[in-house]
Structure 1
Amino acid sequence: PVVPGEQVCIALLKDVTYLCPYMGAISGQLVITNYKLYFFRPSTAEKEISFVVEVPLCTISRIEKVGGATTASRGTDGRNPYGLEVGCKDMRVLRFVMRQENRQRRMVYEKLQDLCFPASNKTPFFSYIYKEEYAEDANGWMVYSAKSEYHRQGLPVEGWRFTKANSKYELCDTYPQILVVPSPASDDDLKQVAQFRSRNRIPVLSWIHPESQATITRCAQPLVGIGNKRSRDDERYIHLILESNPHAHKLLIFDARPQANAVANVARGGGYEKSEAYTTSELLFCDVHNIHVMRESLRKLQDTCITQNEDKHWLSNLEQTQWLHHIKVILAAATRIADRVESGKSSVLVHCSDGWDRTAQLTSLSMIMLDSYYRTIEGFIVLIEKEWLSFGHKFQQRVGHGDKNHSDSERSPVFLQFVDSVWQMTQQFPTAFEFNDHLLILILDHLYSCLFGTFLYNCDRERRKEEVKKRTKSLWSLVYSRQDDFHNALYVSAYHNHVLLPVPAVRHLEFWSSYYARWNPKMKSQEPVQERHKELLKIRDHLRKKVEDLERQLAAKQLSS
């Protein structure tokens, strides 16, 4: 099956063996198109389902030749046969064995190197070639409008205003064009504040409480440095954020980093808000580790998921990855923020170092807890567009779209951790979310696939320059065209105005096996309750319709008699 715009680049290669880590060696045929690698075992009988392995090329992070041409280098036990190893961003490591004659391996290796890394090879991403036509009412590029989302939150209100100071990205090149800032601050004030914040990422509004006017704002670290610099403009600006909330006496600043890291950043020219300068604020550190720690944790998790004897030491191996511990710390910080905004009516400012990784995790998760709109399919899409895409989470660098340097230190599973945290919340509140985990998995699959333009590049400005909206399709078009697949059958609207505060303790968190271990047939989870529930709802609707038809027929008979 090919998608519109897809073309075969290497046709059927026979005599290829896929070394499945779970089912052993499987002989079949390999096809490479300009979008995916496709291996299949042709079915012998009509009823037999053929075995298929399918990977979008941009999901591939590394391709290595394994096994030498000589039998000596192959090892006597045949464990290192001649072929290719393909490492993927979705936790898979694929091993293909090929025949040595007619240079089959070399041809496949070179073709994959050409096609898998468009950014390194300066060729267009497949999303620019993809030609699927979606219905006009399912145009994903129309889902998010910054103005509409701020209006939904009740803006403009006293104390806050829209500014066009960044309409040409001259104030901050990684921020969106429309920003909401404290009303008393002029556009010139914003420029002064920008000079004292890392990457010019000034404090701007993310969310405002509809009743208490408590706010969640986000920014980057202040440039305090070893010289203990201060900025009167920045201090006044922070005070204006506090003053816009009539209920609060202190602005709570949540620094996502561990305190030691924040202190270490002072030596690099960064730092944190010291109490002697910011007298009306209180600083709290959240202990979320940096991108390098998280990358290493994911690597260990991947090793754990593909280890052969996974059963014997499964729990201790999982514990050693520290993955669930990191998820717990992120959820705990977001829960504290949501609680202080809701119960304490406090205004909160969130930042990490540059304000585009951990900051996005904490603002978006706390907004999901506080605002039930973000727990709907549409609202969740708006949240990702707003807090992640428009505010410049560096998807290109963190995911490494089309980049062959698979060990790049800029890569990190920041967005994956956010999605995992959302999944943890759906497990603790199974009836509060309109969407199911099929939507979360689809988003992660297309985060890597580059089939859509949604997650390409690092910020709004770059996407505009590359004409992403004009020249590519949006992932949300696919979501809207298949909305029923992503609907949580257990969803009840009674949670509409509820604030959700999940329990951020490891004993209440689960390993998301239907995502991380979905390639392992031994770890297949049972059919989820909601799937059965969905079927029962269909039967109920069908029977209801039948009853209505019979009642109509009965009424018609009684009239005629």
Structure 2
Amino acid sequence: FRWSSSQRPLSERQDPGQVASPPETTKDVMYICPFSGAVSGTLTITDYKLYFKSLARDPPFVLDVNLGAISRLETIGVQSHGENTRGLEIVCKGLPNESWLISKINSSYEVCETYPALLVLPASISEDELRRVAAFRAKRRFPVLSWIHPESQAAIVRCGQPQVGPSDRRCREDERYLQTILDANAQSHKLCIFDARQSSVADTNKAKDGGYENESFYPNVELNFLEIPNIHVMRESLRKLKEVVYPAIDEQRWFSSIDATHWLEYTRLLLAGAVKIADRIESGKTSVVVHCSDGWDRTAQLTSLAMLMLDSHYRSLRGFQVLLEKEWLSFGHRFASRVGHGDENHANSERSPLFVQFIDCVWQMTRQFPSAFEFNDLFLITVMDHLYSCLFGTFLYNSEQERVSKEVFNKTVSLWSYINTQAEDFTNPLYMNYEHHVLYPVASLRHLELWVSYYVRWNPRTRPQVPVHQHVKELLVMRAELQRRVEELQREASSSRSLSSSSDLGGTAMHTTV
């Protein structure tokens, strides 16, 4: 179900038998029927049943369900979880550093149209300074906080490239801004900048008024180039990969053909870069600034992968959704341009599989750490399928501003609503919550392989005879049964210890009396 945001929603979570009396009625409710589509109507919940009646149909569509058949009533957000999700994360995860503050300076998207309305910024920076820094950075994408270590206060900050140009222009406000980021972390006297680009390309960008930070202007700053090729190289790599896996597979040249695409090599470069960022944060207790050219492609890949390695919250099913909403959607990855939604020009040079590459990296991590992620292979494939399907509003348009102006949050359903209503299908049966456990995947070609279940799944020779998700469901049922049995044995053991203790006390008492 979904209801209009103007209506007061029903209780956030209710168990059957605990529904308030008198009956609660909500108008402007939409029932998403898996067979006939969306139906508008009125929803009523009484002490014993759920009753939905359509408004426009003749005869009306009626759904009358006894509450005894429902395990739980729960509101599922139908928006793309933009500001609401970020607000929830702020409440849950906190901001353990007085040097940072949550700012609404971009609430009208006027400072940076590709940034979200809510931002976390250095507390000591004035609005005037911030605007000067924005003018100095590509696409006005000034440095903002993505993640902060709960203990060391080391931070991951993202931005666009500085516009130094061929004459190495300076911006005093930008220099002070980065110094403020360094000062916010008392455990380190150095700030590390990771430029995702190849150093030769970064030099070339100076001629186009771009460039990179001059270390002589930024004291205590260390600049590192991660040598990751640009979007055009990645697009060509995936094109070659498609030719290898479809429609026919050359068995004799399989490995050499895959190697010639360089897809796994570029995957390795991304993972290696993210490991360097995570290691600087965790082991070096050093804050990092990450950027590429504009700060919405390779930057999003690197920050989100590093956060996956550092923070177990993002390795949960819901936490991963928050990660995508925050690092990709709210921070303006150009999904419409990179995927080509609504664009018939398949040769458009703006297209590039950056998000596909990121999800591939996540899959590689799930292979190396099979019990560290709550979600499974099917979840990642489902996300990829609906990146292209346009059935949901989650990945539409290029920025939060565009989605707000087009009322995507009110006019479409979120992919996460669909996924979270059948979470058991997307759950990893081997999952164990390794809280505060940092993952360092091995970024070596010896440990990477082609994601066959995604890239080659339509080739009948590679399809498994039994669907993998069927085995997953069986394992989940088995795990639930084993957990139930363990709990029973624990209760029996506890009961036996209690009886034994009572018996010992009784025997001691008799001996004392005698």
1:114 is matched with none
> Taking structure 1 as reference, are residues 545 and 239 closer, same or farther at Cα in structure 2, changes over 3 Å only?
closer
1:380 is matched with 320
Query: Is 1:265 paired with 2:205?
Result: yes
SS in 2 for 1:522: coil
Query: Is 1:243 paired with 2:276?
Result: no
Partner of residue 190 from structure 1, selected from 130, 133, 152? 130
SS in 1 for 2:437: coil
Confirm or deny: 8 A CA contact 1:153 1:207 kept in the other structure: no
Q: What are the Cα deviations for residues 145-194 of structure 1, in whole angstroms up to 9, with x where unaligned?
A: 22332343321622111211101111100000111111110111110100
SS in 2 for 1:431: coil
Partner of residue 75 from structure 2, selected from 130, 134, 137? 137
Q: What are the Cα deviations for residues 482-514 of structure 1, in whole angstroms up to 9, with x where unaligned?
A: 100000000012x12100000000110111000
2:474 is matched with 535
Q: What are the Cα deviations for residues 188-210 of structure 1, in whole angstroms up to 9, with x where unaligned?
A: 11101001000000000000000
User: 1:142 Cα shift?
Assistant: 7.3
1:95 is matched with none
Confirm or deny: 8 A CA contact 1:196 1:223 kept in the other structure: yes
Partner of residue 425 from structure 1, selected from 358, 362, 365? 365
Partner of residue 491 from structure 1, selected from 431, 445, 448? 431
Q: What are the Cα deviations for residues 221-242 of structure 1, in whole angstroms up to 9, with x where unaligned?
A: 0000012111001001011000
> Taking structure 1 as reference, are residues 282 and 525 closer, same or farther at Cα in structure 2, changes over 3 Å only?
farther
User: 1:141 Cα shift?
Assistant: 2.5
User: 1:319 Cα shift?
Assistant: 0.3
> Taking structure 1 as reference, are residues 436 and 537 closer, same or farther at Cα in structure 2, changes over 3 Å only?
closer
2:56 is matched with none
1:42 is matched with none
> Taking structure 1 as reference, are residues 408 and 543 closer, same or farther at Cα in structure 2, changes over 3 Å only?
closer
- Which one is further off, 421-430 or 177-186? 177-186
**Matched ranges for 1:271-282 at <5 A:** 271-282=211-222
The number of equivalent residue pairs is: 425
Confirm or deny: 8 A CA contact 2:282 2:310 kept in the other structure: yes
User: 1:347 Cα shift?
Assistant: 0.2
User: 1:140 Cα shift?
Assistant: 4.2
1:292 is matched with 232
**Matched ranges for 1:238-387 at <5 A:** 238-387=178-327
**One-letter amino acid of the structure 2 residue matched with residue 407 of structure 1:** A
> Taking structure 1 as reference, are residues 540 and 396 closer, same or farther at Cα in structure 2, changes over 3 Å only?
closer
- Which one is further off, 530-539 or 498-507? 530-539
**One-letter amino acid of the structure 2 residue matched with residue 512 of structure 1:** W
In 2: Cα distance, 1:154 partner to 1:306 partner: 47
User: 1:440 Cα shift?
Assistant: 0.4
> Taking structure 1 as reference, are residues 536 and 484 closer, same or farther at Cα in structure 2, changes over 3 Å only?
closer
User: 1:529 Cα shift?
Assistant: 8.0
Q: What are the Cα deviations for residues 424-455 of structure 1, in whole angstroms up to 9, with x where unaligned?
A: 00000000000001110000100000000110
> Taking structure 1 as reference, are residues 542 and 251 closer, same or farther at Cα in structure 2, changes over 3 Å only?
closer
**Matched ranges for 1:496-515 at <5 A:** 496-515=435-454
> Taking structure 1 as reference, are residues 190 and 229 closer, same or farther at Cα in structure 2, changes over 3 Å only?
same
Confirm or deny: 8 A CA contact 1:156 1:162 kept in the other structure: no
Confirm or deny: 8 A CA contact 1:220 1:355 kept in the other structure: yes
Confirm or deny: 8 A CA contact 2:393 2:415 kept in the other structure: yes
1:164 is matched with 104
Partner of residue 451 from structure 1, selected from 391, 394, 403? 391
> Taking structure 1 as reference, are residues 256 and 490 closer, same or farther at Cα in structure 2, changes over 3 Å only?
same
**One-letter amino acid of the structure 2 residue matched with residue 211 of structure 1:** E
1:521 is matched with 460
Cα RMSD (Å): 2.5
In 1: Cα distance, 2:163 partner to 2:471 partner: 55
**Matched ranges for 1:102-117 at <5 A:** none
User: 1:310 Cα shift?
Assistant: 2.0
SS in 1 for 2:252: coil
- Which one is further off, 373-382 or 530-539? 530-539
Confirm or deny: 8 A CA contact 1:212 1:247 kept in the other structure: yes
Partner of residue 120 from structure 2, selected from 165, 174, 180? 180
Confirm or deny: 8 A CA contact 1:163 1:187 kept in the other structure: no
**One-letter amino acid of the structure 2 residue matched with residue 283 of structure 1:** L
User: 1:541 Cα shift?
Assistant: 4.3
In 1: Cα distance, 2:156 partner to 2:189 partner: 15
SS in 2 for 1:354: coil
Confirm or deny: 8 A CA contact 2:80 2:414 kept in the other structure: no
**One-letter amino acid of the structure 2 residue matched with residue 194 of structure 1:** A
1:76 is matched with none
**One-letter amino acid of the structure 2 residue matched with residue 435 of structure 1:** F
> Taking structure 1 as reference, are residues 307 and 279 closer, same or farther at Cα in structure 2, changes over 3 Å only?
same
User: 1:524 Cα shift?
Assistant: 2.2
In 1: Cα distance, 2:247 partner to 2:353 partner: 21
User: 1:536 Cα shift?
Assistant: 4.4
Query: Is 1:209 paired with 2:242?
Result: no
> Taking structure 1 as reference, are residues 174 and 546 closer, same or farther at Cα in structure 2, changes over 3 Å only?
closer
Q: What are the Cα deviations for residues 108-142 of structure 1, in whole angstroms up to 9, with x where unaligned?
A: xxxxxxxxxxxxxxxxxxxxxxxxx9x86222437
User: 1:248 Cα shift?
Assistant: 1.0
Query: Is 1:439 paired with 2:472?
Result: no
Q: What are the Cα deviations for residues 341-374 of structure 1, in whole angstroms up to 9, with x where unaligned?
A: 0000000000000000000000000000000000
1:93 is matched with none
1:18 is matched with none
In 2: Cα distance, 1:337 partner to 1:309 partner: 37
Identify unmatched segments of 5+ residues in structure 2. 1-33, 40-62, 64-72, 493-514
SS in 2 for 1:500: coil
In 2: Cα distance, 1:185 partner to 1:286 partner: 29
In 1: Cα distance, 2:405 partner to 2:111 partner: 17
SS in 1 for 2:342: coil
Q: What are the Cα deviations for residues 38-72 of structure 1, in whole angstroms up to 9, with x where unaligned?
A: xxxxxxxxxxxxxxxxxxxxxxxxxxxxxxxxxxx
In 1: Cα distance, 2:76 partner to 2:389 partner: 21
Q: What are the Cα deviations for residues 231-269 of structure 1, in whole angstroms up to 9, with x where unaligned?
A: 001001011000000011110000000100100100000
User: 1:525 Cα shift?
Assistant: 4.5
In 1: Cα distance, 2:208 partner to 2:393 partner: 35
User: 1:2 Cα shift?
Assistant: 5.5
SS in 1 for 2:396: coil
Query: Is 1:462 paired with 2:495?
Result: no
Identify unmatched segments of 5+ residues in structure 1. 7-132, 553-561
